[in-house]
Chain A
């Protein structure tokens, strides 16, 4: 069954792609089999990560980018990630709202995902979904995350090109934005460039670029767009292409991909390990027991973890 699904997905069948994504998200035993068959077919798609705070117009930007790529005859996969509630485990995935008509184009596939991860970052399944879209023949894979939690910084690990979107007049100056987010950009987009304060925002980003790129080969470009009026999207597409070329020529693409696989490996191992330790029947009693002992101060958490690891090594 899984083999049929995978081969159909590789041929671009939507239903199969969708079902395969569900399988890797739920991390069933089929997931490993599926990814075994998928992975060899990856490497073609240009993976573009787009992040920025709520209200910066990411979804509109993605909509416009997708339209442009479709005009160029390229097929597009879109992964829209929203945070999973750490309390309920549920998620409200609302990014599709702006893209509903887009999905009627058979060259566009949109999937909404919750972060589902304990740490709020991108789980290993996002990597898998990127691979599935890549392997199924998409030329471009756009990954969108909202600017909360760790996900926005994690996106650099997955993407070939990371775009950070800001808007003028957010109330916060760029300086106060979450540490790390501004440093991950391969391209800065100042969207809603018709708003008041755009010059100041661009200036702030520019001074950041000056500092960040003072001894780097490439100065991060800053593109002003008005996504809802489809303005300057062409420039953005060109800039993304230039970055892709840059990555190829400087062989940085390989480095990037290596980083991606390393992060993915870490995530998969972490997930599998955690699942093993906390869900396997044979460990449950041990864990409960150790937790009691930690509580009553008989043992400390570090010693407890060593005991667990020893037990794993033995199995």
Chain B
């Protein structure tokens, strides 16, 4: 970017500055720390200058938003054209309660819906399964059937607003509930838009809500890709996630590397089946964490866009839409403190800002009480307002990729890319993503990083405000969300009624057809939809798959 003469001059000036101005000062007043490291243990220098920018061929390495390599943004207008979707993850208790919360959020300005399911649902169990004991509705909404889905979206314009559903093991089935509900309401599946998380690889690595072993799980996912681009073209059939990897304790670099690695694995799996990359790739989406280190997070999103575009090109994608790394972001749950919860609002603001400056397409901001419970109405309203203030009052959306050209951010973007490729190599040497999972590679990396972080907190070399420093004795006094205690019994009654009132014989035939198809290699979505329309429950359909595919058990400690 600069001519050699200028670079040499800058170099000389920097040396002079260090010798004559910087060093004398630190000899008198040393810096606060010996080394300043970010959360990925990357050493951060005191100053960045044009000397630090390696990839400085602007046209090729940095470029323009909306064109390869998409470093500065995937669209040519970004937030000037359309603000990110304000999409607050929500769900608790029974479908009726969550339906109320969705209406509240839409009323207060959220622009997209996002469903959190309870643990039994995540694992494909009905609310009355013995393993569901004590877990009903506790960390998300309980959805056991099409009936529940109907109630969940009652009076909500699903032809007008998109819905993201955080569901993995039974994703295909829950998606079928959503599609069937739309169809019953007279809304064509060609029109509905949304996302299913459907990212099983990160389940084995981090979130652990897997059901079946890797091979059949990948098959189900590729089935959804295919069904999606053929019949539900506005739907993102996967949200390749780093959020959970980060929450499990990974560094930002690991989050970046492991997520993109998973993504490429899905692409390869789909191509192996013979699907055209340019048909399914446009509907792949991503989901990242927004953690505390502002600039590291921004660099992470930028690097992600460039790496993804490059790798997808390598895999043979020809259409531009196949190269776009579209992503949703959630601010880091693991960074929230239970102590002095109000200060979480500040944390979330910084994190949300990072996501916006990083060019996110969609954003969820955590509520201040989430280290203690699911968000209360007041707390979630503040979280939403946080996004709205950034959007309307801060001015950061006036221009695209405002931090582009920052010597620090460009250097850090390049550095994170470099570290990511190092991880790609290591995983390749282990035989690929799935062998690496079986060998416990990702799990060990994450556990090491998590342990290191905790040791730093315990040892006071890392300060967490309000937790190990700046503490108060004040008891925590904020309203905690209370759920409807009658929700569970209502749900169980609903399930019993449903089982009584449906055509059991017809359903049994369809479940048998599903089982046969599961043993073969036809696309399973139509079979699942048939069962769903007959009011099969989530547990019943998952049981068919459990019988055919077995269940996955974690291999070892790390």
Chain A residues with CB under 8 Å of chain B are 54-55, 59-60, 92, 94-95, 97-98, 169, 196
Contacts and interface: CB of A to CB of B under 8 A. Distances in A.
Count chain A CB atoms within 10 A of each CB in B438, B439, B440, B553 and give the residue with the most.
B553
B554 A97 contact: yes
A98 B553 CA distance: 7
Given A54-B556, A55-B556, A97-B556, 18 more contacts: A55-B439, A55-B440, A59-B555, A60-B555, A92-B557, A94-B556, A94-B557, A94-B558, A97-B553, A97-B554, A97-B555, A97-B557, A98-B553, A98-B554, A98-B555, A98-B556, A169-B431, A196-B431
Contacts of A97: 553-557
Nearest to A95: B556
A234 to B, nearest CB: 19
Nearest to A82: B557
Interface in B136-180: none
Contacts of A55: 438-440, 556
Contacts of A92: 557
A196 B557 CA distance: 25
Contacts of B556: 54-55, 59, 94-95, 97-98
Consensus secondary structure, chain A interface: mixed
A13 to B, nearest CB: 29
Nearest to A146: B556
A95 B438 CA distance: 15
9 contacts: A55-B438, A92-B557, A94-B556, A94-B557, A97-B554, A97-B555, A98-B553, A98-B555, A196-B431
B28 to A, nearest CB: 41
A122 B557 CA distance: 22
Contacts of B555: 59-60, 97-98
Interface in B435-464: 438-440
A98 B440 CA distance: 14
B371 to A, nearest CB: 28
Interface string B210-223: 00000000000000
Nearest to B440: A55
B455 to A, nearest CB: 14
Contacts of A169: 431
Contacts of B558: 94
Nearest to B552: A228
Contacts of B431: 169, 196
Contacts of A60: 555
Contacts of B439: 55
Contacts of B553: 97-98
A66 to B, nearest CB: 14
B216 to A, nearest CB: 13
A101 to B, nearest CB: 9
Interface in B406-455: 431, 438-440
Interface string B535-558: 000000000000000000111111
Nearest to A228: B213
